[in-house]
Every structure is written in structure tokens, then in C-alpha cells.
């Protein structure tokens, strides 16, 4: 039984049926569909469309249907075109023809948009907890890192020394922005479409503000035409998920690099590494590579939905049925990835001596220029002098700290014996003490601020 058979003389072609059916995707919104129906039944009752008896029968029936979903006992039948049809079909089996009154003044257009938003309102908090777990891990590692130094890179070339804790926290903050974006999105998801009808509004005198409140929505949508086709929240959610994917891919890329023998800054625990079927020695960072790869898939989900939405005429178009699969896939992806990355990072081994050994005196060339600045020479000149020192040391194939004082003084008479202090990477780090810098105190402040948030 379809919900729309009256005006048709033949049944839908089997393959067209399969194309049209959305049950494989939208059955995930079963509980939300029943909850939406319970609220609508109550609104119909308040509007005197349902008698006391009919309302009791419908709501008890819907409670049974909900129980069947919750316990996994609900049986779908081949004629269930979508989750809305399945719920109404089962309600009819349970309570008879009174079930047919439930859809009064409602359309699947406002119904599906309501279900989807309800589903998202419940899914976002799950995602936020998964974020919290990973952020807690990053913070924990930042605290454990203490005074461990590592090379910082720009263009993937050795740049300046940094604290390992600063590096860990540099991956905390993007996730915090992602959390804020997701939290902010909630207010744009929390808008109730139910009561918009198919497109023009409902003829039932429902108090939509009360209906919104009863379902946990902040407000009722202000325009029925917009409301049945507004999928901004889904696109916005996919952007949030994609941005997280990109942040995780950036972190993953660095773990892949830093666990390679060439860097050797970290070693993954066996529980989060995989081997090769051919090469017995291999220990591969698959979970980080997959995370990096899934960022690509997430970008595809976002651009796919945006392309679907582009140019659609007002109100509901069946194209919109394509909205749920990418959102579900994005949530599933993040919920699969976030705890694994958290686990892999919690159990990773740091190799401080490898990190320290990768800091050479050339990474303090900026400090060398700053040293001359402290002697009153303009930075533009000191940059050139320090650059010359780099060239001379490079030609001699020695470190900057191995250049003799005479060699330095040949470049500038402002150099004195204390110049060699600039090659201590910890001193370089300690100078970067302004808010957001890599000094011990500055990083300590960052941690305190995070903990206070």
C-alpha cells in the first residue's frame, strides 16, 4: 500500500519503485518519525480533529510502534516506500482505520524535514563527545610533553625550534573551532518545519510554537515554502564535518611523516598499526592514512549535496531525498575516525632525542639576526649578515655554532663572545613569550586557558 495510490490506474514499475524508495536510508530516522507523529497527533487532538478516543488509540499505537523499533522487532514489508509509510502501515495494522486520521493537515514534505532535523539534533551531541575525547588526548599529550623540544617546519623545511606541547596544542585549537561551529549550528537545526504542510501551510489550527517546544525545537519555521526545502542545515553540517576531516587529515599527515624512519619522532603502538602481507618488517600508520583519505570523501559528500541543492525550484523536490545519505555517511565517518585517532595518539611513543637531534643551529639563524638587533642594528641588515653566516658555514660544511668568533666579526664587528648563546634552542623558545608563542610560560598559559574554558 502506498500513501498516494488513488489517482493511478497501474502500480509503479518495479525498477522505478526501487529508485523511488528511500527506506534503506531513512529507516535510521524511525524513532524521530514516530516522535514527530506523536506530537502531530497531539496537535490534531488539541485542534479537535481527533476525538479523545482516537487520540488515545493513535498515541498508544505509536508507542507500540516505537517500542518495536527500539527493540529491533519492527518488521518492514516490501511495500514500505519510506519510513513514513512504514510507520503508518504498522499503525494501521495495530489500530485499524483510525490510523488514517494521523496524516490530516500534514505532508511527508514537512514530516521528513522534521524527522531529519530531529535526528541531527540528537546526533550532534554524540559528535561533540567524540571531539571531547580527542581534545582531551591532545591536551594530555601537551601536558606530558613538558619541556620536550622539536623542530618546527614551514614549507616542510626546518624553520625554528618549538615545544612539542605547542605542537600538540596546535591540533587542539582547530578541533575547538569545529566544536564551536557545530554548537552554533544547533540553533539553525532547531527550527521546526512540521505544520508547513506540503508547501503552503496547514489548514489545521495548530499552535506551531507549542508544537516546536513539545518536540524540543527552539522555534517554528517562519515560511512554509522555505521550510519544506531548507536543507542549509545539512549543507552546513557537511561543511563542519569536512572542515574537521581536513583538520584531522593535516594531523594525520604529520603523524605519517613523523613515524617514518626518516623522522622517527614518534612510534605508534602496535594496537594502532598494521602490517604488510609481503614485507615482514612493515609497521604502517593505516589509521592515519585512512583518516587523511576520508577527508577527500567528506569533501565529496559536501560538494555532492551543494550540487543537488543548486537551482532547485521552491518548496519540495524529490532531489531533496538525496540529502540524508551524505549527512549520515559524514557522521558515521567522524564517529568511526575520532575515537581511533584519540586511541592512537594516547598510546603513541614520543622520541625526544630524535626530535632534539633534528634541531640544528641553522634553525637559530633568526635568533642570530635578533642578536644583532639587540646591538642596535636594523633587522633588514641583520637578516643579511645572518644570511651570510649561514652561507659561510654551509660552504665550510659546519654548523653556525662552529664558526669562529673571528669569522663572525668579519661579518659584523657587533658580534661578541656571547653570540654562541643564541644557538641554545631552549633560549630561542623562551624568547617567544608573547601570547600564543612557544615559550614554556606561554604554552602553560594556553593549557590553563583551555582548562578554564
Query: Which range binds ligand ARG by CB under 6 A, 27-35, 139-147, 315-323, 417-425?
Result: 315-323
**Residue 40 interacts with ligand ARG (CB under 6 A)?**
no
Burial (CB count <10 Å: 0-12, 13-18, 19+), residue 285: buried
Residue whose CB is less far from ligand ARG, 123 or 163: 123
**Residue 249 interacts with ligand ARG (CB under 6 A)?**
no
Q: Build a one-symbol-per-residue string for 414-443: x at contacts with ligand ARG by CB under 6 A, - elsewhere.
A: ------------------------------
9, 71, 155, 404: the catalytic one is: 155
Q: Which of residues 99-128 bind ligand ARG (CB under 6 A)?
A: 108-109, 112
- Residues that bind ligand ARG (rule: CB under 6 A) add up to a total of 10
What are the grid coordinates assigned to 28, written together?
A: 535510521
Q: Which of residues 8-37 bind ligand ARG (CB under 6 A)?
A: 22, 26
Query: Which range binds ligand ARG by CB under 6 A, 166-174, 175-183, 271-279, 314-322?
Result: 314-322
Q: How far is the CB of 27 from ligand ARG (least distance, A)?
A: 11
User: Minimal CA–CA distance to 117: which of 39, 201, 24?
Assistant: 39
Residues 6+ apart with CB under 8 A from 127: 182, 331, 334, 335, 338
List, in sequence order, every beta strand (DSSP E) within 275-348.
Answer: none
Residue whose CB is less far from ligand ARG, 320 or 345: 320
**Residue 87 interacts with ligand ARG (CB under 6 A)?**
no
**Residue 321 interacts with ligand ARG (CB under 6 A)?**
yes
Residue whose CB is less far from ligand ARG, 116 or 265: 116
Strands 219-220 and 266-267: unpaired
Check if the beta carbon of residue 204 is closer than 8 Å to that of residue 105: yes
User: Rounded to whole angstroms, how far apart are CA atoms 436 and 439?
Assistant: 9
What are the grid coordinates assigned to 214, written together?
A: 513539545
**Residue 82 interacts with ligand ARG (CB under 6 A)?**
yes
Query: Which range binds ligand ARG by CB under 6 A, 124-132, 137-145, 255-263, 312-320?
Result: 312-320
276, 361, 374, 439: the catalytic one is: 276
Residue whose CB is less far from ligand ARG, 55 or 119: 119
Q: Is 428 a catalytic residue?
A: no
Q: Which of 295, 298, 320, 411 binds ligand ARG (CB under 6 A)?
A: 320
Residue whose CB is less far from ligand ARG, 246 or 325: 325
Whether the CA torsion 390, 394, 396, 402 is positive or negative: it is: positive
Question: ∠ CA(430), CA(258), CA(440), 5° rounding?
Answer: 15
| Greatest CA separation for the chain | 102
Residue whose CB is less far from ligand ARG, 20 or 132: 20
User: Rounded to whole angstroms, how far apart are CA atoms 57 and 34?
Assistant: 14
Q: How far is the CB of 246 from ligand ARG (least distance, A)?
A: 29
Check if the beta carbon of residue 49 is closer than 8 Å to that of residue 105: yes
Q: How far is the CB of 116 from ligand ARG (least distance, A)?
A: 8
Q: Is 276 a catalytic residue?
A: yes
Q: How far is the CB of 108 from ligand ARG (least distance, A)?
A: 4
Q: What backbone torsions phi and psi does residue 266 show, to the nearest 5 degrees?
A: -135, 160
Q: Which of 69, 237, 316, 415 binds ligand ARG (CB under 6 A)?
A: 316
3-state secondary structure 101-146: HCCCCCCHHHHHHHHHHHHHHHHHHHHHHHHHHHHHHHHHHHHHCC
Q: How far is the CB of 22 from ligand ARG (least distance, A)?
A: 4
What are the grid coordinates assigned to 106, written together?
A: 500534514
Check if the beta carbon of residue 363 is closer than 8 Å to that of residue 161: yes
Residue whose CB is less far from ligand ARG, 114 or 160: 114
User: Rounded to whole angstroms, how far apart are CA atoms 291 and 337?
Assistant: 7
Cite the active site residues.
155, 276
- Which positions touch ligand ARG (CB under 6 A)? 22, 26, 82, 108-109, 112, 316, 318, 320-321
Amino acid at each position: 500500500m502506498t500513501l498516494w495510490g488513488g489517482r493511478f490506474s497501474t502500480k509503479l514499475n518495479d525498477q522505478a519503485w526501487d529508485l523511488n524508495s528511500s527506506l534503506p536510508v531513512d529507516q535510521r530516522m524511525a524513532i524521530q518519525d514516530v516522535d514527530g507523529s506523536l506530537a502531530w497527533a497531539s496537535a490534531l487532538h488539541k485542534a479537535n480533529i481527533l476525538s479523545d478516543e482516537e487520540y488515545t488509540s493513535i498515541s498508544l499505537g505509536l508507542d507500540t510502534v516505537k517500542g518495536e523499533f527500539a527493540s529491533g522487532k519492527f518488521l518492514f514489508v516490501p511495500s514500505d516506500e519510506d519510513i513514513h509509510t512504514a510507520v503508518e502501515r504498522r499503525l494501521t495494522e495495530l489500530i485499524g482505520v483510525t490510523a488514517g486520521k494521523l496524516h490530516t493537515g500534514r505532508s511527508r514534505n514537512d514530516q521528513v524535514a522534521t524527522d531529519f532535523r530531529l535526528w541531527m539534533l540528537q546526533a550532534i551531541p554524540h559528535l561533540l563527545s567524540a571531539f571531547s575525547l580527542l581534545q582531551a588526548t591532545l591536551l594530555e599529550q601537551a601536558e606530558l610533553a613538558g619541556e620536550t623540544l622539536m623542530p618546527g617546519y614551514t614549507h616542510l623545511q626546518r624553520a625554528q625550534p618549538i615545544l612539542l606541547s605547542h605542537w600538540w596544542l596546535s591540533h587542539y585549537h582547530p578541533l575547538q573551532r569545529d566544536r564551536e561551529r557545530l554548537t552554533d549550528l544547533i540553533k539553525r537545526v532547531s527550527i521546526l518545519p512540521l505544520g508547513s504542510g506540503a508547501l503552503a501551510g496547514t489548514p489545521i489550527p495548530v499552535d506551531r510554537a507549542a508544537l516546536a517546544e513539545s518536540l524540543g525545537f527552539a522555534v517554528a519555521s517562519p515560511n512554509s515554502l522555505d521550510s519544506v526545502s531548507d536543507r542549509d542545515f545539512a549543507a552546513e553540517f557537511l561543511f563542519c564535518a569536512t572542515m574537521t576531516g581536513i583538520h584531522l587529515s593535516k594531523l594525520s599527515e604529520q603523524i605519517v611523516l613523523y613515524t617514518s624512519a626518516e623522522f622517527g619522532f614518534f612510534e605508534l603502538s602496535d594496537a594502532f598499526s598494521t602490517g604488510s602481507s609481503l614485507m615482514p618488517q612493515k609497521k604502517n600508520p593505516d589509521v592515519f592514512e585512512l583518516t587523511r583519505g576520508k577527508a577527500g570523501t567528506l569533501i565529496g559528500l559536501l560538494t555532492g549535496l551543494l550540487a543537488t541543492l543548486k537551482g532547485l525550484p521552491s518548496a519540495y523536490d524529490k532531489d531533496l531525498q538525496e540529502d540524508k545519505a551524505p549527512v549520515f555517511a559524514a557522521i558515521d565517518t567522524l564517529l568511526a575516525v575520532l575515537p581511533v585517532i584519540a586511541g592512537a595518539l594516547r598510546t603513541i611513543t614520543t622520541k625526544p632525542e630524535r626530535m632534539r637531534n633534528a634541531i640544528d643551529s641553522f634553525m637559530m639563524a633568526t635568533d642570530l639576526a635578533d642578536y644583532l638587533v639587540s646591538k642596535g642594528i636594523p633587522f633588514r641588515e641583520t637578516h643579511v649578515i645572518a644570511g651570510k653566516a649561514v652561507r659561510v658555514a654551509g660552504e665550510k660544511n659546519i654548523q653556525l655554532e662552529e664558526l669562529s668568533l673571528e669569522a663572525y666579526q668579519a661579518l659584523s664587528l657587533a658580534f661578541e663572545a656571547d653570540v654562541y648563546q643564541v644557538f641554545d634552542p631552549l633560549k630561542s623558545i623562551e624568547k617567544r613569550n608573547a601570547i600564543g608563542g612557544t615559550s614554556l610560560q606561554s604554552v602553560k598559559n594556553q593549557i590553563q586557558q583551555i582548562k578554564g574554558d
